[in-house]
């Protein structure tokens, strides 16, 4: 039962020579789910040997460039490959205008349907369901409208019968956000939690001013949620000592990894 997360970008607003902007791929039993799509996502997919045609759905957290500037290129590549299966895209309502712009200028030879569903919720809301997974969106606390996504594995009755002690897998993606009291409840008990940690604790004032979290705040959310493991990323370009940032998290939540581009986590 495959449930793997590939980290394709850990930078924040500005790409760095060895780090790309935000993008992650969750593989669930052979199907791919893309979370955000910063610049360079296509190249990172190639490096990770992730098939373009197996992407079932794309989930965009918010309309900031470091989270979606790679989307146009990806959509166009799928057309060049002759994709025919619909591509499901979820994100804030404003993303609809972005996709309409793409269609008006670059969609003439589009070979597949782009099915956009706007996300607009004040609490957890089911937005996508496929054979193996349900996806729930929930609001985050950023400067603009922003959403996180939780993935919960669907287990068949036959699998339950064959493996009565099986634990369904779960993953939650918390993109750009300041601390939010309800967040721990919404990601309660996940096997793996991604939470941005843009700044070290000494830069808490900048985190608060810019709608982001510190390492300690990310770790506290994981602890409050009873998550099994925590992955942090979306680092400020000022951060060069990732071991120190990881140590700040581990003081509160020991099962923390400060992710680097290309890391793969088996859930």
The DSSP bridge pattern shows strands 3-9 and 23-28 to be: antiparallel
Burial class of residue 11 in the structure, from the number of CB atoms within 10 Å of its CB (0-12 exposed, 13-18 middle, 19+ buried): buried
* Catalytic choice (18, 36, 66, 224): 66
Place of tokens 């789910």: 33
| Rounded CA separation 6/9 (Å) | 9
Whether 176 is a known active-site residue: answer no
Cβ atoms of residues 58 and 98 within 8 Å: no
Residues 6+ apart with CB under 8 A from 54: 30, 31, 32
Report residue 110 as tokens: 């589009």
- The catalytic site residues sit at 66
């Amino acid at each position: 039962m495959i449930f793997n997360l590939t980290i394709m970008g850990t930078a924040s607003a500005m790409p760095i020579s060895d780090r790309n902007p935000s993008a992650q791929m969750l593989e669930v039993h052979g199907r791919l789910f893309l979370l955000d799509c910063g610049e360079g996502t296509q190249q990172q997919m190639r490096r990770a040997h992730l098939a373009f045609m197996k992407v079932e759905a794309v989930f965009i957290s918010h309309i900031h460039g470091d989270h979606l500037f790679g989307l146009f290129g990806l959509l166009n590549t799928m057309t060049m490959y002759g994709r025919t299966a619909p591509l499901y895209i979820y994100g804030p309502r404003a993303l609809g205008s972005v996709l309409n712009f793409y269609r008006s200028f670059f969609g003439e030879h589009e070979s597949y349907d782009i099915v956009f569903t706007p996300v607009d919720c004040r609490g957890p809301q089911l937005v996508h369901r496929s054979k193996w997974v349900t996806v729930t969106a929930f609001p985050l606390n950023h400067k603009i409208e922003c959403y996180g996504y939780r993935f919960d594995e669907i287990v068949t009755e036959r699998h339950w019968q064959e493996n009565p002690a099986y634990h369904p897998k779960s993953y939650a993606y918390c993109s750009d956000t300041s601390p939010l009291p309800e967040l721990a409840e919404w990601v309660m008990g996940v096997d793996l939690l991604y939470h941005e940690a843009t700044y070290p604790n000494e830069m808490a004032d900048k985190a608060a001013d810019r709608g982001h979290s510190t390492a300690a705040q990310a770790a506290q959310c994981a602890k409050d949620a009873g998550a099994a493991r925590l992955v942090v990323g979306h680092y400020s370009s000022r951060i060069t000592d990732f071991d120190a940032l990881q140590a700040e998290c581990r003081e509160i939540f020991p099962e923390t990894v400060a992710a680097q581009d290309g890391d793969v986590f088996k859930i």
